Amino acid sequence: MTKSWVNSDQGRSDPERPVGSDLHLELSGVGSRRAQLMDALRDAIRSGRLAPGTRLPPYRGLAVDLGLARNTVASAYAELTEEGWLSARAGSGTRVAERATPIAPTHPRRAAPPPRRPFIYDLLPSSPDAGSFPRAAWLTSARRALAAAPNDAFGVGDPRGRPELRHALVEYLARARGVRTDAQRIVICSGFAGGLRLLASVLPGPVAVEAYGLDVHHRVLHENGVRTVPLTVDADGARIDELTGSEATSALLHPAHQYPTGGALHPERRAAVIDWARARGGMVWEDDYDGEFRYDRQPIGALQGLDPDRVVYLGSTSKSLSPALRLGWMVLPAWLVDDVLAAKGGREVFTGVTDQLTLADFLATGSYDRHLRRMRGIYRRRRDLLTTTLARRAPHIRLSGIAAGMHAVLELPDGTEEATLRAARREGVALDGLHPYRHPDSTMPPRDGLVIGYGTPPEHAFPAALDALCRALP
Amino acid sequence: MTKSWVNSDQGRSDPERPVGSDLHLELSGVGSRRAQLMDALRDAIRSGRLAPGTRLPPYRGLAVDLGLARNTVASAYAELTEEGWLSARAGSGTRVAERATPIAPTHPRRAAPPPRRPFIYDLLPSSPDAGSFPRAAWLTSARRALAAAPNDAFGVGDPRGRPELRHALVEYLARARGVRTDAQRIVICSGFAGGLRLLASVLPGPVAVEAYGLDVHHRVLHENGVRTVPLTVDADGARIDELTGSEATSALLHPAHQYPTGGALHPERRAAVIDWARARGGMVWEDDYDGEFRYDRQPIGALQGLDPDRVVYLGSTSKSLSPALRLGWMVLPAWLVDDVLAAKGGREVFTGVTDQLTLADFLATGSYDRHLRRMRGIYRRRRDLLTTTLARRAPHIRLSGIAAGMHAVLELPDGTEEATLRAARREGVALDGLHPYRHPDSTMPPRDGLVIGYGTPPEHAFPAALDALCRALP
């Protein structure tokens, strides 16, 4: 589209002089003549050629100039006025609206987010493969779900979350994860952190956590006034025997796949922690963050199935679909539901309805199963490439936690973690050391290692990322 | 599709006896033969006819029975195994997976949400017209936005929110609301309450609030350790002169449309509150919850435009589109951005990315303008019907706050509020009295009134809702 603004004797319009015969707008492009006129006027205003306060010609005059019907121009003026581009006052005609003058661009006091070294390869364990988000299938579900939703879905939300999603989760979690519940005991929340925050406010006792874990989770607990007590972690998960005699009234565990060290909680310990919770009157908080991704055998079922009254099950789409969806769910004992809803405050304040409805359809139509199957294949291949590459190029380095998920721990010789991280940085590789995951109060001797996220890099970049990683190893 | 399960001598299958020649599955319906077989098996399992633990016939045998290729059956078994419907173990064949036994349905200890009297007419001022959510246009934007989004949109989110949305808001807020900012100073949050929570953690001083307001907002502040100080409210908004000498270091105001009493902040008070903030080193928190809906003249521009360094502007889609989207934005002074991001915690934890991207497209393509224009027409008609109906049927009752928004205050004679609410309940009308909006520490004499939300009822029910309301009036 071309358009021009010609004012016989000056580049910018003179606000007090109504632009009349010297207003030249060339209409072209798509849409009706009215839409073309609106586009031309918006463009002239946006570019500053038509200054704030400028009086426009009466619509009759402009209609004659442009060879348009009067109604066309009048309606374009009215619409641009409603949109805020123009303002109309009786006796003063139609003018370009007084808009705020441009402000100087922001230079933050200190950079936020902090300037990061431009890494070439991202092996941080924070995210699944962002390039594999199933956009087309998600949209298909969104279309179906939005068409089918009742009007009240767009009113003030139920603090439990949409019933469509809670019902779909009951079926899916029973089938895929062995979770025993009904839709009344499920509360939708924004990701795992949202659920953790709610639990902290209703179960405030000290919480036993695994000695290696995400410090962001501990911070959420501490910010909500909850103290954390570390439990030693070995290849069979957390040492449940340490709960006996501890002050903890809850235990936050990753039974299917300890994060980050990677073990599964031993069957005897699974039974033991349920026994402890029953005897103590305590609760287990089960973080099932990547339970769907297991490569060596069938997924390990949820601990929740052993005692739905003593286990709160927490899941999310952060590993299975995308952490950017901010969608999670809590499966609660019946007796805890009211307290959690009371803490939520009577209406949904965090989680949007469109993604809830879409995920419900995505689950119910099998799209979630299909996506997980596809991703299991992708991650399994990446894991295999990681193990074979390391076996060939660094046979002295042991890998652990590779039976499941999308991260692994690479065990390093004592005292070499920091130097290895520095070397990796030089190779352009972003990754985590094991030290930051250690609970500061733990009595476990610190271990050196790297936490490698193999889900994050785009498919094509993964072999090169591994190559760079191997160059950095001691 | 029809399918049947015939087991010669019993209704349910015997787990230890492999089902062979007596397994009869009728395949029909849509999709490949493999998909039909999977559907038939899922259906048999779901209905309980194929019990957990039941051994399935070897795939070769079933292939012969059904006249299918062996690969077809093998791949259906494998896929159902991956989905968790079946389990396969070496030496034990393929079985129906052990699923959790059904649990008893939940009967919450106390009902939550509390059982509500089934109202016929909803005149609560909590929500816009839920039936007018622009589903088709929203989906069109979602499709364009998801197709255009870079892969990193599905990774761990920036705590500011998506840049596409922040840029679209800069343009829209400048044009429609006179807000002066750039994309670096905008932080996306989950609705107004999410923004309020963040502000409370970074600007903790006592906050002056209007003596009439939403107690849920005051509760958010109190839960975050912030004390509130009430300011008298009259027809010209909050009494800014009361800030002088008060302990408050911030003032939470609704300059365009006081909530719920409905006045606009007088131009002199707009100037005065900016002067106060500058002199005091304080901040104005501007809640622009329905600034787009003004019927008597051009919308009143945001206070923020007067001094972007002393005003935090808060907006959301809760009135313009739907409170169920949980999407809002804060426009911050440059010096406050880092503190808010630090409080947010380094990554986005609440707001999902798909709606952010969709809203960005919705704004940039003019769909938001079109939707607002349409809704303004609808609400204006409803408001006019409210005023004419009351003028005819209850001329002794004064309406206020009708120049904007989607609610009005109906002033009642002293001492009649409670009886009127009871009468309304009898007529099946849900509405709010004015008393719950009054700050408990206010020195203003309590006023009797009703807060009428005219956005909430569906279009067809509105005349009848008004009729029922009039029957309840004193």
Give the nearest partner residue to B326 out of A109, A176, A351, using CB atoms: A351
pTM over 0.90: no
Distance (Å) from the alpha carbon of B86 to chain A's nearest alpha carbon: 10
* pLDDT value at residue B30: 63
Residue-wise pLDDT for B395-424, tens only, equals 999 999 888 999 999 999 999 999 999 999
How confident is the model at residue A82, as a pLDDT? 67
> Nearest-CA neighbor of B284 among B295, B296, B276?
B276
The 10s digit of each residue's pLDDT in B52-85 is 788 888 888 888 888 888 888 888 888 787 667 7
C-alpha angle A135-A175-B11 in degrees, rounded to nearest 5: 130
Provide the chain A residues 376-405 that lie in CB contact (below 8 A) with chain B.
376
* Nearest Cα residue in chain A from B129: A155
Contact: A373, B82; criterion CB under 8 Å:
yes
**B202-218 pLDDT, tens digit each:** 998 899 999 999 988 99
In a mutagenesis test of the B interface, which of A156, A371, A380, A460 is the best target, namely the one with the most B β-carbons within 10 Å? A156
Parallel, antiparallel, or unpaired: how do β-strands B250-253 and B207-210 relate? parallel
Count Cβ atoms below 10 Å from residue A437 Cβ, excluding itself.
22
Pairing mode, strands B93-96 and B121-122: unpaired
Q: Is A222 on the interface with B (CB under 8 A)?
A: no
A216 vs B458: CB contact, 8 Å cut-off?
no
Instruction: Look at residue B6 and tell me whether its pLDDT is greater than 70.
Output: no
Strands (E), A132-174: none
Please check whether residue A412 is in contact with residue A450, taking contact to mean a CB–CB distance below 8 angstroms.
yes
| Candidates B180, B190, B366; nearest CB to A350 | B190
What pLDDT tens digit does each residue of chain A (474 aa) get?
333 333 333 334 444 444 443 566 778 766 788 888 888 887 777 766 777 788 888 888 888 888 888 888 888 888 777 667 788 776 678 888 775 344 555 554 443 444 445 688 999 988 899 999 999 999 999 999 999 999 999 998 889 999 999 999 999 999 899 999 999 999 999 999 999 999 999 998 899 999 999 988 999 999 889 999 999 999 999 999 999 999 999 999 999 999 999 999 999 999 999 999 999 999 999 999 998 898 877 778 899 999 999 999 999 999 999 999 999 999 999 999 999 999 988 788 889 999 999 999 999 999 999 999 999 999 999 999 999 999 999 999 999 988 899 999 999 999 999 999 999 999 999 999 999 999 999 999 999 999 999 998 888 889 999 999 999 998
Strands (E), A204-352: 207-210, 228-231, 233-234, 237-238, 250-253, 283-287, 311-316, 328-331
Name which of A108, A126, A133 is nearest B154 (Cβ-Cβ). A133
**Which of A82, A222, A348, A378 should be substituted to probe chain B, the one whose Cβ sees the most B Cβ atoms within 10 Å?**
A82
Q: How far apart are CA B474 and CA B470, in angstroms?
A: 9
Residues of chain A contacting B83 with CB distance shorter than 8 Å: 175-176, 366, 369, 373
Tokens 């949007």 sit on residue: A352
Catalogue all structural domains in chain A, each as residue range(s) with its CATH number: 2-96 (1.10.10.10), 121-127+370-472 (3.90.1150.10), 134-367 (3.40.640.10)
Q: How much of chain B exceeds pLDDT 70, in percent? A: 89
Nearest residue in A to B39, CA atom = A366
A305 touches chain B (CB under 8 A): yes
Provide, as residue numbers in chain A, all residues whose Cβ is less than 8 Å from the Cβ of B146.
135, 138-139
Residue among B147, B174, B349 minimizing CB distance to A194 = B349
Under DSSP, is residue A198 helix (H, G, I), strand (E, B) or coil?
helix
Q: Is the dihedral of CA A64, A66, A69, A71 positive or negative?
A: negative
CB A146 within 8 A of CB B139: yes
**Model confidence at B44, in pLDDT bands (50, 70, 90)?**
confident
